[in-house]
């Protein structure tokens, strides 16, 4: 790349980007997956309904996933605003965390929660003739849709709205 006037440092490698995304999303994904399974199993055991199981799995996964992502985001924004008094620090931390979540995940979540995930988590247990394998397969298929949208938004958000440094207001 240097021969064309572009340094290797200006274009991050694929490996570095993958490590960044895995570090960002994997902890939340693990927690979300375990919660989706627990919620789907519980709903299915209580109702016998795949629809109830799909909805419970979707809600459970969303709560666990976004709880993890929001906590990590809030920690980083809180560090940026530590010099402010508590009320202003809490406002800045909360508002910037919510803004970042909406920008990064809003479009992906709309497609995921209202279309892809419930449909795929409903469909796949019948296709695979196994409730657990089907819920997992539906979840993984929906994740492909979700992450194609979320990672694009994350990269765009990083370019347009970077996390401010500790001395910025």
> In this structure, what are the phi and psi dihedrals at residue 74, rounded to the nearest 5 degrees?
-65, -40
Tell me what the mean pLDDT of segment 15-35 comes to. Answer: 94
Q: What is the pLDDT of residue 2?
A: 43
Decide if pLDDT at 12 tops 70.
no
Q: What is the pLDDT of residue 160?
A: 86
Tell me what the mean pLDDT of segment 51-80 comes to. Answer: 91
Selection from 64, 44, 57, 65 nearest residue 118 by Cα: 57
Spatial separation of the C-alpha atoms in residues 128 and 130, rounded to whole Å: 5
Spatial separation of the C-alpha atoms in residues 138 and 2, rounded to whole Å: 44
Q: What is the pLDDT of residue 3?
A: 45
Q: What is the pLDDT of residue 124?
A: 96
Q: What percentage of the chain has pLDDT greater than the value 70?
A: 89
Spatial separation of the C-alpha atoms in residues 61 and 59, rounded to whole Å: 5
Spatial separation of the C-alpha atoms in residues 61 and 29, rounded to whole Å: 8
């Amino acid at each position: 790349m240097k021969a064309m006037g572009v340094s290797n440092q200006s274009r991050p490698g694929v490996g570095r980007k993958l490590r960044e995304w895995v570090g960002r999303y994997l902890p939340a994904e693990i927690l979300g997956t375990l919660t989706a399974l627990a919620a789907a199993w519980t709903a299915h055991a209580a109702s016998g309904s795949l629809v109830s199981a799909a909805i419970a799995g979707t809600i459970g996964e969303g709560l666990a996933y976004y709880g993890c992502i929001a906590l990590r985001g809030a920690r980083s924004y809180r560090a940026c605003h530590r010099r402010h008094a508590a009320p202003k620090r809490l406002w800045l931390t909360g508002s910037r965390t919510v803004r970042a979540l909406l920008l990064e995940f809003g479009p992906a979540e709309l497609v995921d929660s209202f279309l892809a995930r419930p449909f795929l988590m409903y469909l796949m247990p019948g296709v695979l003739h196994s409730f657990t394998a089907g819920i997992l397969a539906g979840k993984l298929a929906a994740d492909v849709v979700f992450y194609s949208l979320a990672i694009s938004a994350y990269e765009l958000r990083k370019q347009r709205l970077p996390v401010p440094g500790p001395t910025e207001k």
